[in-house]
Structure 1
Amino acid sequence: MARYHIETYGCTSNRGESREIERRLRDAGHHRVEGVEEADVAILNTCTVVEKTERNMLRRAQELTDEIADLYVTGCMALAQGEEFREADVDAEVLHWDEVPEAVTNGECPTPTPDAEPILDGVVGILPIARGCMSNCSYCITKQATGRVESPPVEENVEKARALVHAGATEIRITGQDTGVYGWDTGERKLPELLERICTEIEGDFRVRVGMANPGGIHGIREELAEVFAAHDELYNFLHAPVQSGSDDVLEEMRRQHRVEQYVEIVETFDDHLEEWTLSTDFIVGFPTEDDEDHEMSMALLRETRPEKVNVTRFSKRPGTDAADMKGLGGTLKKERSKEMSAAKREIVGEAYESMVGDERDVLVTEYGTGDSVKCYDSAYRQVIVQNADEYGLEPGDFATVEVTGHQTMYAFGEPL
């Protein structure tokens, strides 16, 4: 598991977000260390009150990148002025706080606790549908903690989803170590059935986001799954399928249960069924056997499939895994490859949000942002920020139609109509 170092600046809200980040990291088996020199990753939760504070945040971020391979920047400055870090050549992932725990994984799966139950966080309902996975990745220590997949009955998960909606959830986030293999332990592939029943049997206005599903698990149900997405407006047209590499040789060394062709076939299937959707994926950069050609294959796959959300992780060894015994690549090489991929990612994401400018979009407000703003998501789970929310009377749980007026690479700005 990852050893993380976290620093928090600013108000009580930031400190509360850091506590939640740490809770999720602890639940996933990661642990905190005080010194950055002992950590695998660092997390910087930023403040942006005055110009001097901004300069301090940029300076501290640069110091951390000099000390550690992987830095994740979140908090107010990250959300309001994320471009400042890139313009200062800070080599870091700029993320919303809620995305940090997922990113700090070295490509490992999320790890629900054995007693994981639905949680209502504002208007967002978190629904763990299963625990465990069917994979045996050579770099992942999570399997040692969770074992094989254990799937509660579909009816039980539908009832949990119904309870979340009745409690006030307008967005349900379906989670699991690998949602695509839900039901495999019973001899059936039940994810499409679960989604179908949530959308047809639960009354109310709500949206559903499906969490991480490995390509090996969903390839065999891709047609059925895409048809369910196309049939129900309740489902965000969003799929998180971590490919990890564009090289079949590297995937084999990783012991991933898919190959590049299968991943591409999943993308093509969703392209055929959905007019607009968002692909999310993960890449591990600098796996011990990855050579220059393998890296170029990953870059080519990124540009071919054009995912709009990409977690780029530099490989780091986890004790007790087979990959820990492999001779690793140098930190400088991993850093260079990570920067190249992150730059390509920003270009792809920026083009996607640029294409939205001038469109009218139906969105769901999910939470408050910085200042007098709210964060919303459209049908493809693209983030739209509405400023001056009080003026429009918008608050979490509301549905609205907005005109997209601009963007800032990783999100758009909208004005309600």
Structure 2
Amino acid sequence: MARYHIETYGCTANRGESRQIERSLRDGGHHPADGPEEADVAILNTCTVVEKTERNMLRRAEELDAETPADLVVTGCMALAQGEEFAAADLDAEVLHWDEVPEYVRNGECPTTTPDTEPVLDGVVGILPIARGCMSDCSYCITKHATGKIDSPSVEENLEKARALVHAGAREIRITGQDTGVYGWDEGERKLHVLLDRICTEIEGEFRVRVGMANPKGVHGIREELAEVFAAHDELYNFLHAPVQSGSDDVLGDMRRQHQVSEYVEVVETFDDYLDEWTLSTDFIVGFPTETDRDFEQSMALLRETRPEKINVTRFSKRPGTDAADMKGLGGTVKKERSKAMSELKMDVMDEVYESMVGDVRSVLLTEDGTDDSLVGYDRAYRQVAIPDAQNQGVELGDTVDAEVTGHNTVYALGELV
């Protein structure tokens, strides 16, 4: 688990984005540090309103780079509009969109739920941790030292927690855990599909359900049952987050990831068979100590083949106390070049997806405040749609609206109310 330091400059929108970054980091078991010098990662959320601001942002980035022994992440307006300025200043910083920051900090590790794994209602979103721990032993992951093996409450217990969230006003339930795909494994039977089916059939009310991260190995054994449940229930977002981490079986073996590339592909093919439209989300770690040029090309080829619509690209960094920390690492330049190449391919894939949506009318559940008077929600495939000026048109969080997609910004669509 990482200690983070975050600084925010600029408008209310930037402050809101930083709050969401912090919320995601805390949900993942990470904690704020007392200052940049104590942090494992320093995050600078930038503004670029005038030239003087730009100079201030570069100066502060240089100061943070010197103050902290940790990784430096730069996000916000200047990072997205003028990211090359930070490279020109010879800063060893990762320039990211704000919603990519939590995944980068997580470094490919599983999220860590709170010790009591109790549900939380955050606005109209109910967060339901269904279990604690995992069945993996990844060589790069420090989370396992904090969580241990899977501990699954009963389906009945989680069902009642989900029902309580809906009755309390949740319009979206986010199923979370270190690895949702192995829920029930400690009881001798994987039960994620059973829990999802019962939530959708036995709880009254209007709501949608998003399933959180599920490692390919856990999903593979129940892929037919799980895909069938997704196809049967409109309440389920057609969305699966299955982090493959590498397209090379050799690297996956060194990572001790348990699955092979072929099993990941079979999961994808099964969901393709059952669902007309769905979103695949996955993660790649680039620059693992044993990753060769050929291994990296296999990862790029897998990305092109399966075309996940949401891709988290993380440059490998060592975590103390893990086996991978003792491996001789690759140079920072190699990792940076591979990260850049994969991130460019990632943006091409995502741009293609959102471009294909333009002109469509989508059913969107509004769950988040956007900038100014906009609201943000998700369609049935959990693709993000922002609706400008929505609050002035009589809609509010928790509403499900029809929206025509009029444009996109690579990582989300823009819509108008119909």
Same fold (TM over 0.5): yes
Taking a change above 3 Å as real, the CA distance of residues 66 and 335 of structure 1, as seen in their structure-2 partners, is farther
After superposition, give the CA deviation of every residue in 1:313-362 in whole Å (9 maximum; x if it has no partner): 11111111111111011111111111111111011001100000011111
Residue pair 1:58, 1:85 contacting (<8 A) in 2 also: no
CA distance, structure 1, for counterparts of residue 414 and residue 26 of structure 2: 34
CA shift for structure 1 position 100: 3.8
CA shift for structure 1 position 36: 5.0
Residue pair 1:110, 1:176 contacting (<8 A) in 2 also: yes
Residue pair 2:307, 2:349 contacting (<8 A) in 1 also: yes
CA distance, structure 2, for counterparts of residue 357 and residue 178 of structure 1: 34
The equivalent residue for 1:42 is: 42
Taking a change above 3 Å as real, the CA distance of residues 143 and 182 of structure 1, as seen in their structure-2 partners, is same
Matched, 1:358 2:359: yes
Between 217-226 and 86-95, report the one with greater CA deviation: 86-95
Residue pair 2:367, 2:376 contacting (<8 A) in 1 also: yes
- Helix, strand or coil for the counterpart of 2:210? strand
Identity value in percent = 73
What is the letter of the counterpart of residue 201 of structure 2? T
What is the letter of the counterpart of residue 406 of structure 2? T
The equivalent residue for 2:198 is: 197
- Helix, strand or coil for the counterpart of 2:311? strand
What is the letter of the counterpart of residue 5 of structure 1? H
- Helix, strand or coil for the counterpart of 1:125? strand
What is the letter of the counterpart of residue 81 of structure 2? E
CA distance, structure 2, for counterparts of residue 47 and residue 372 of structure 1: 20
Structure 1 runs of 4+ off > 4 angstroms?
A: 11-24, 26-29, 31-40, 60-75, 85-91
CA distance, structure 1, for counterparts of residue 287 and residue 237 of structure 2: 32
Matches within 5 A, 1:9-408: 9-10=9-10, 18=18, 21-22=21-22, 25=25, 28-33=28-33, 36=36, 39-47=39-47, 50-52=49-51, 55=54, 59=58, 63=62, 71-74=72-75, 77=77, 83-86=80-83, 91-96=94-99, 100-408=101-409
CA distance, structure 2, for counterparts of residue 13 and residue 352 of structure 1: 26
Between 38-47 and 215-224, report the one with greater CA deviation: 38-47
Taking a change above 3 Å as real, the CA distance of residues 304 and 43 of structure 1, as seen in their structure-2 partners, is same
Taking a change above 3 Å as real, the CA distance of residues 234 and 103 of structure 1, as seen in their structure-2 partners, is farther
Please give the TM-score of this superposition, normalised by the length of structure 2: 0.91
CA shift for structure 1 position 311: 1.0
Please give the TM-score of this superposition, normalised by the length of structure 1: 0.91
Taking a change above 3 Å as real, the CA distance of residues 207 and 53 of structure 1, as seen in their structure-2 partners, is farther
- Helix, strand or coil for the counterpart of 1:104? helix
The equivalent residue for 1:6 is: 6
What is the letter of the counterpart of residue 4 of structure 2? Y
CA distance, structure 2, for counterparts of residue 197 and residue 129 of structure 1: 14
CA distance, structure 1, for counterparts of residue 18 and residue 6 of structure 2: 8
Contiguous gaps of at least 5 residues in structure 1: none
CA distance, structure 2, for counterparts of residue 105 and residue 196 of structure 1: 30
Taking a change above 3 Å as real, the CA distance of residues 398 and 26 of structure 1, as seen in their structure-2 partners, is closer
CA shift for structure 1 position 29: 4.7
CA shift for structure 1 position 101: 3.3
CA shift for structure 1 position 45: 2.7
After superposition, give the CA deviation of every residue in 1:85-109 in whole Å (9 maximum; x if it has no partner): 456576422133xx64344111110
Taking a change above 3 Å as real, the CA distance of residues 26 and 172 of structure 1, as seen in their structure-2 partners, is closer
Residue pair 1:132, 1:147 contacting (<8 A) in 2 also: yes
Contiguous gaps of at least 5 residues in structure 2: 88-93
- Helix, strand or coil for the counterpart of 1:333? helix
CA shift for structure 1 position 41: 2.9
CA distance, structure 1, for counterparts of residue 297 and residue 25 of structure 2: 32
Taking a change above 3 Å as real, the CA distance of residues 389 and 22 of structure 1, as seen in their structure-2 partners, is closer
Residue pair 2:104, 2:312 contacting (<8 A) in 1 also: yes
- Helix, strand or coil for the counterpart of 2:223? helix
After superposition, give the CA deviation of every residue in 1:238-267 in whole Å (9 maximum; x if it has no partner): 100000000000000000010000001111
Residue pair 1:107, 1:140 contacting (<8 A) in 2 also: yes
What is the letter of the counterpart of residue 92 of structure 1? V
After superposition, give the CA deviation of every residue in 1:165-205 in whole Å (9 maximum; x if it has no partner): 11111011000000000000000110000000111111111
CA distance, structure 2, for counterparts of residue 397 and residue 191 of structure 1: 26
Taking a change above 3 Å as real, the CA distance of residues 123 and 337 of structure 1, as seen in their structure-2 partners, is same
CA distance, structure 2, for counterparts of residue 317 and residue 181 of structure 1: 26
Between 22-31 and 249-258, report the one with greater CA deviation: 22-31
Taking a change above 3 Å as real, the CA distance of residues 89 and 262 of structure 1, as seen in their structure-2 partners, is farther
What is the letter of the counterpart of residue 352 of structure 2? E
CA distance, structure 1, for counterparts of residue 274 and residue 63 of structure 2: 44
Taking a change above 3 Å as real, the CA distance of residues 247 and 40 of structure 1, as seen in their structure-2 partners, is farther
What is the letter of the counterpart of residue 116 of structure 1? T
Residue pair 1:139, 1:324 contacting (<8 A) in 2 also: yes
CA distance, structure 2, for counterparts of residue 187 and residue 275 of structure 1: 32
After superposition, give the CA deviation of every residue in 1:363-387 in whole Å (9 maximum; x if it has no partner): 1001110101000110011111100
Residue pair 2:134, 2:148 contacting (<8 A) in 1 also: yes
What is the letter of the counterpart of residue 144 of structure 1? H
CA shift for structure 1 position 215: 0.3
- Helix, strand or coil for the counterpart of 1:380? coil
